[in-house]
Amino acid sequence: MFNKKKKEEEPIIENNQTEQEIVDVQTEGTEAAPVEPVIELSPEEKLKQENSELNDKYLRLFAEFDNYKRRTQKERVELLQTAGKDVVVSLLPVLDDFERALKATENATEVSAIREGIMLVQTKLKSILNQKGLKEMESLNTVFNTDIHEAITKIPAPSDDLKGKVVDELEKGYTLNDKVIRFAKVVVGS
């Protein structure tokens, strides 16, 4: 009985068929898909595999972040090196004006013309700096404020209404885009 089943399962071979033709006839109509062996992993092996995947992901993320830090640091250095470039370029005409004024003083006999030329250069310089956001602080006769003033000394106030106010300004204070960049050095009335 065992032999009968085996005979029924074997393909019938004709005299002129080759072995390859027999295999082709047997697989005809069916598409062969590659079969990968399914290997069951133990829980420990699954955890090790998961751990190695997470570790690899972490290392890639760390390397990516390190590259990002280096790139932003390089960009920051480049920005700091070129940050003042536009201000310097805009001040070059003022420098040229000062050189022309110095040449004019060599042969000039009239002081008022030289003074007028220097005032024009100063006005041009102030205009350029104002365009860049620089503003002078007004301190005279204002209430002393430690946020914008630096008291050099106190003197007796000439009148009662000047007590606690700025009597004299030794050095002007400046703000750049509404942020104090130099405190005004002042004399306060007491």
CA atoms lying within 13 Å on the CB side of residue 189: 17
Residues 6+ apart with CB under 8 A from 154: 187, 188, 189, 190
Cα torsion angle, 132, 133, 134, 136, sign: positive
SS3 call for 179: strand
CATH C-level class of 133-190: mainly beta
Give tens-digit pLDDT for 67-100.
Answer: 999 999 999 988 887 877 888 888 898 888 888 8
Instruction: Give the whole-angstrom CA distance, residue 171 versus residue 25.
Output: 105
Starting at the edge strand found earlier in the chain, the sheet holding 179-182 runs: 134-136, 174-176, 179-182
Q: Please report the pLDDT score of residue 173 as a whole number.
A: 92
CB 157 within 8 A of CB 189: yes
Instruction: Give the whole-angstrom CA distance, residue 97 versus residue 110.
Output: 18
Instruction: Give the whole-angstrom CA distance, residue 144 versus residue 167.
Output: 9
Note the pTM of the prediction, 2 decimals.
Answer: 0.55
Give tens-digit pLDDT for 22-51.
Answer: 555 555 555 555 666 667 778 898 999 999
